[in-house]
Chains A and B, each alone.
Chain A
Amino acid sequence: MTLPDYHFISAPLWLVTTLHLLTLTLHLAAMSCLFGGTLIALWAGIRKQWAGPDAVDFVRVLPAATAATVSLGVAPLLFLQLVYPRQVYAAAIVSGWFWLAVIGAVITAYYAFYRASFQAHRTGQVSLGLLALAALGLLYTSLVYSSVFALAEQPDLLRALYAKNQSGWVWNPALGAYGLRWLHMLLGALTVGGFFVSLLGRHSSAMAATGRAAFVGGMAAAAGAGFLYLLTLDTDLAPFMRTPAMPALVVALLLALAALHFHSRKRFGLSGLCLFLSVFGMVYMRHVLRLVRLRGSFDLAAWRVAPQWSPFLLFLVCFMLMLVVLVWMARLFFRPDEDSA
């Protein structure tokens, strides 16, 4: 009996890639609202810039933002593992303990958010200690993700590190390859978090000012860190410049400026849309850069494609249903008067 071969991709690559980039953008948007928002709230709390009901209301949103971040993080990880299992698992195994500890860090952050939320509701005070604990959990997660995913793109380094240490206690030592990338992500999170804060605090001058400052300042700093990161690409820079990622970078930057423009006019819907599309552009560039860095050891086109259309159709129907149900539930929750009427 000839056993089935599992080395295949069960949908056209463009479809899998699109789904991966789209779901990763959604995850990054939610994560940035959460992580950036937490850092801003913490900073504002320490400097006593905003407190009272505004701060309480904001903190009470954070558990939901965590739920969204976690839920939306599952799909891109799935699609990533589908296409790049050899790279992703290998890097995760070499840093096994750090990777696994992410679960503990996120659980800690999640419970800290809930606790802070309940406490704020009960006492009217925001616990900066709990916010700091949650921020630490998220900070750890961000560092591990940057370290592991950067390592996944360095197969030679990966082999060398494993040959020396198989215990799973290996931290990616090539900080130069991912330090600025991590900083760019952190500043990007502050940018999106700033937008989130200013959106939720649009009726509070203190909160809106804090959010606006983080939005504008974060964006400028993120752009600077991003350009510096490009300069560290060394031999990968030239091939990267020849890819469609460069036009995408220009479009993403223009979209970011458009987001600033609309934000200054308090047109939050348009600003948010431009910001989301700008993040999508960054995610696309990240995807192209991964392929550039893996050239020579991995070829996306080498995958055998054997579509499973009926299971895919089931997923598509369920995905559409999911969107409909989410919108319907949100309307039910946020406009309860309509329901009672």
Chain B
Amino acid sequence: MHYPFWDQPIGYGVLMAIIAVFHVFVSHFAIGGGLYLVVNEQQARRDGDMDRLAFLEQLSKFFAMVTLVAGALTGVGIWFVIGLLAPAATEALIHNYVWGWATEWTFFVVEIAAAMLYFYGWKRLTAKAHLTLGWIYFGAAWLSLVVINGILTFMLTPGRWLETGDFWQGFFNPTYWPSLVLRTGVCIMLAGLYALLVASRLEAGDFKARIVRQAAGWAVVGLVVTALAQAWYWKAIPVAVTAKALESMPTPLRAIVLSLWLAAALGAGVLALVILAPRRFGTLAALGFMALGMAWFGAFEWSRESLRKPYILTGYMYGNGAEVAETARYQRDGFLPQITYRTGDDGADLFRHACRSCHTLDGYKALKPALAGADRAYILALIQGAHLLRGNMPPFLGTPKEAELIADHLYQRTDHRPLADIHKVDGLALGRRAYDLRCGKCHAVGTASDKAKSLAGQSAEDLSGMLDMAASLGEGMPAYTGDAAERKALVAYLQTLGQGGKP
């Protein structure tokens, strides 16, 4: 509330993902790739394998270009973007973990210097000196992960820090160790995948087959470590967090299932490659594996971010920057007095600070299409019961008057026409639209809050009566405020759901 709000149209989640996802791929490769280079260089020098040394020198150029420039700069980019998108959370993290970040910076400086000297030192240095620089590089890079992992995992599982505020208790939090093992596995896996990409450009033959087999081995070992650690990681997350996600958040669960399928596909694909065609392994296949690996890792990061909802710092700060400790003050005095940067349009200011961190009007998690056809009373009810909606939303902490200001702001920007006119549908199709608007925001079919079975055997009159008394059904259900045509179609659709019909 102490900061201006960057009202850009892309959506915070998308903007963050563009920079952060790219950076995590590169930064993990920067660690695993360093280990791959130095281990292989050691073996190649021991065996006097000049072909392999030439390959490694080529790989190190690719490595330096990717990690030193894109890796380092997108890392700084994450600093920039979190300060823009979540300044309050960034401030909280910096005040608690400034010495953690400062320590990580010392490793970062050594990492960058060692990487440059290693890259430029192939011809200039002795084998021993070159290898020493390689090991220093890898050590510094991995230690930077050791540090940053503490801050990253703190955001999901702050553990006893919430009671004590102690640096180390927050740092070595419940998911610290499984996450460290998992990310180390990812580093090894990505090193194998990047090496496969560079190896794919070699001429077909025995040498290529040897390099491909070995790189594939790295990818598979990394994948196995990662898969095991992922199970450990899931178990380390407090049950309260996972249970809430299982109940109301299909998205992270889909992401986890997707990540397992992607991991299996990647493992099977890489193994098939090693057995079937290591000599003729092409760039297209390498890019395919790389895409699979990135999709898997992306799905994991997505699920991790989603699990944290409705918080940005679990149990401490909501996704919109509202501090849990300030809840009583927000409810008593309202949001508006806490907003330092005002524009003169209170509804817009409230909307920005309460909702815009996750939602846009037209883009990512867009509200205009989601609320098309809704009346003002229903929008107001949704705002006041935001914490009950699907997706683990933070509660609306402002005053009733402020909720009305947001409702007005949204109502003025949404399509007020009947659903039938907006979507050009009637009958069951209209009923489904009405269900999505009026019911599906909590009772999504196929999720834990699916109530379709309770509709079995109910007549149209029963269902219409249920809509009449929706507001008295408890659990924050809003009153049914749709028009007669919409009601008729919705009742018909509810009947099909009760009969086991597919939505």
Contacts and interface: CB of A to CB of B under 8 A. Distances in A.
Contact of B343 (A19, A67, A162, A315): A162
22 contacts: A3-B324, A4-B96, A6-B95, A7-B95, A10-B98, A63-B116, A70-B112, A71-B72, A72-B109, A94-B4, A103-B76, A162-B343, A163-B342, A166-B343, A308-B167, A310-B168, A311-B168, A315-B103, A318-B103, A326-B110, A332-B132, A336-B129
B453 interface: no
A43 B161 CA distance: 56
Contacts of A3: 162, 315-316, 323-325
A312 B73 contact: no
A4 B91 contact: no
A222 B3 CA distance: 35
A70 B3 CA distance: 27
A10 B113 CA distance: 29
B485 interface: no
Closest 8 CB pairs of A and B: A4-B165, A311-B99, A166-B7, A89-B87, A103-B77, A322-B106, A6-B92, A318-B106
Nearest to B98: A82
Contacts of A312: 99
B72 A70 contact: yes
A161 B397 CA distance: 28
Given A81-B94, A168-B6, A67 B110 contact: no
A234 interface: no
B6 A340 contact: no
B2 A4 contact: no
A51 interface: no
A176 B352 CA distance: 32
Interface of A: 1-11, 19, 63-64, 67, 70-75, 77-79, 81-82, 85-86, 88-90, 92-94, 96-97, 99-100, 102-103, 106-107, 110-111, 114, 158-159, 162-163, 166-168, 308, 310-312, 314-315, 318-319, 321-322, 325-326, 329, 332-333, 336, 339-340
Contacts of A332: 117, 125, 129, 132-133
Contacts of A326: 109-110, 113
A314 B167 CA distance: 12
B3 A329 contact: no
B80 to A, nearest CB: 6
Given A3-B325, A67-B72, A85 B90 contact: yes
Contacts of A89: 3, 83-84, 87, 90-91
Given A74-B108, A92-B84, A4 B161 contact: yes
B105 A74 contact: yes
Contacts of A308: 99, 167
B103 A64 contact: no
B131 to A, nearest CB: 11
A319 B126 contact: no
Interface string B321-357: 0011100000000000000011110000000100000
Interface of B: 2-8, 19, 65, 68-70, 72-74, 76-77, 79-81, 83-84, 87, 90-92, 94-96, 98-103, 105-110, 112-114, 116-117, 120-121, 124-126, 128-129, 132-133, 136, 140, 161-165, 167-168, 315-316, 323-325, 341-344, 352
- What is the interface of chain B mostly: helix, strand, loop, or mixed? helix
B341 A90 contact: yes
B87 A9 contact: no
Contacts of B79: 74, 77
Given A6-B96, A339-B128, A315 B116 contact: no
B21 to A, nearest CB: 15
Given A10-B98, A103-B74, A71 B108 contact: yes
Nearest to A321: B106
A79 to B, nearest CB: 8
Contact of B3 (A73, A82, A93): A93
A311 B171 CA distance: 10
A162 B341 contact: yes
A68 B129 CA distance: 22
A336 B4 contact: no
B20 to A, nearest CB: 12
Contacts of B101: 78
Contact of A86 (B3, B65, B343): B3
A333 B112 contact: no
A332 B109 CA distance: 17
A333 B122 CA distance: 11
A82 B162 contact: no
B108 to A, nearest CB: 6
A281 B50 CA distance: 53
Given A1-B162, A75-B102, A308-B167, A329 B136 contact: yes
A311 B103 contact: yes
Contact of B121 (A72, A81, A107, A333): A333
Most buried by A among B4, B7, B129, B344: B4
Given A162-B343, A336-B126, A339-B129, A329 B114 contact: yes
A81 to B, nearest CB: 5
A97 B323 CA distance: 27
